[in-house]
């Protein structure tokens, strides 16, 4: 589904992503892990056409990132790190606005919005202004907005950052339900999140992808029992 070849992003002297090469398969949840500044968000921004790569390229569903970004935009969507909602619009209006960027038919827009409000348990707050929702609900809305275009590839940038444990678990459930329906690439700082959700995990250190594998493979490779310890070992930290 996604084939990345030597993808690189430089900011003056800093190489944020360094020759990243990776294949992500259709229907899998792929988690990008790394400490702050490892290059996870920059990678997602490049793959979602928000930021231009300095060099290298990627193919998403056969479309070239550099040459066919308009085609790619039709099949991807993103739930950014900060909750990207229009605060003064109601929950329903937020959904309808994003849907109308992808569909012309009002009936289709209505159906999509109705279904997602139900799936994400947002029906009761549909008429509420988005800025008045709790953090967890705002994040849920942000993901629902990303799903309104029925993307083939969904990017989730730290989807549960700052959420309490209950809101986080609820959101995990929702993400798990999306499994197999689309390819999901998520970044996270929470090891247990990657363990619970991801089919495979890529660990980035200083812009480089240093390891890729399943949780079991990464634990076996490092000889650690806990995935958190395996991550620390790979990321170059001391135990």
Partner 1 sequence: MRTLAFVRRNLKEILRDPLSLVFCFAFPVLLLVIMELIITSTVPDISYVPQFKIENMFSSMCVFSFTFLTLFTAMLISKDRNSSFQARLNVSPMKSVEILFGYILAVLPLAIIQIILIFCASLCFGLVVKWNILLAVLALFPSMILFIGLGILVGSLCGEKAVGGMSSVIINLAVFLGGMFFPLETMNNAFTVICDILPFAPGIKIPKAIITENTEGIWIAVLTVILYMLVILGISILVFQLKSKSDKKAH
Question: Within 112-151, which residues bind partner 1 (CB under 8 A)?
Answer: 129, 145-146, 149
Q: In the set 13, 36, 104, 216, which binds partner 1 (CB under 8 A)?
A: 104
Q: How far is CA 163 from CA 29, 146, 154, 171, in A?
A: 21, 19, 20, 9
Q: What angle do CA 152, 231, 13 make, to 5 degrees?
A: 75
Question: Within 50-69, which residues bind partner 1 (CB under 8 A)?
Answer: 50-52
Q: What angle do CA 102, 81, 191 make, to 5 degrees?
A: 125
Integer Cα distance of 185 and 127 in angstroms: 31
| Interaction of residue 97 with partner 1, rule CB under 8 A | yes
Secondary structure of residue 30 in the 3-state scheme:
strand
Span near partner 1 by CB under 8 A; candidates 25-33, 88-96, 171-179, 226-234: 88-96
| Interaction of residue 83 with partner 1, rule CB under 8 A | yes
| Interaction of residue 153 with partner 1, rule CB under 8 A | no
Q: In the set 73, 128, 179, 206, which binds partner 1 (CB under 8 A)?
A: 73
Report the nearest approach of partner 1 to the CB of residue 186 (Å).
15
Is the separation of the CB atoms in 220 and 183 below 8 Å? no
| Interaction of residue 110 with partner 1, rule CB under 8 A | no
206 conformational bin, left if phi > 0, alpha if psi -120 to 50, beta if neither: left
Span near partner 1 by CB under 8 A; candidates 55-63, 100-108, 132-140, 227-235: 100-108
19 conformational bin, left if phi > 0, alpha if psi -120 to 50, beta if neither: left
Which spans of this chain sit near partner 1 (rule: CB under 8 A)? 11, 42, 45, 48-52, 70, 73-74, 76-78, 80-89, 93, 97-98, 100-102, 104, 129, 145-146, 149
């Amino acid at each position: 589904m996604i084939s990345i070849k030597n993808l690189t992003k430089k900011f003056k002297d800093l190489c944020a992503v360094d020759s990243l090469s990776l294949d992500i398969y259709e229907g899998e949840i792929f988690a990008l892990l790394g400490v702050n500044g490892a290059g996870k968000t920059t990678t997602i921004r490049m793959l979602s056409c928000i930021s231009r790569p300095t060099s290298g390229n990627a193919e998403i569903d056969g479309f070239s990132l550099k040459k066919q970004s308009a085609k790619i935009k039709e099949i991807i969507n993103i739930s950014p790190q900060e909750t990207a909602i229009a605060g003064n619009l109601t929950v329903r209006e937020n959904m309808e606005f994003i849907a109308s960027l992808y569909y012309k038919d009002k009936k289709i827009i209505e159906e999509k919005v109705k279904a997602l409000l139900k799936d994400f348990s947002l029906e009761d707050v549909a008429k509420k202004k988005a800025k008045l929702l709790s953090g967890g609900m705002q994040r849920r809305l942000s993901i629902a907005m990303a799903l309104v275009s029925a993307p083939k590839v969904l990017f989730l940038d730290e989807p549960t950052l700052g959420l309490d444990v209950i809101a986080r678990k609820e959101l995990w459930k929702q993400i798990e339900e999306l499994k197999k329906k689309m390819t999901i690439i998520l970044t996270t700082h929470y090891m247990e999140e990657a363990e619970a959700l991801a089919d495979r995990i890529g660990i980035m250190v200083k812009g480089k992808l240093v390891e890729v594998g399943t949780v079991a493979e990464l634990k076996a490779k490092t000889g650690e029992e806990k995935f958190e310890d395996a991550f620390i070992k790979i990321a170059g930290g001391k135990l």
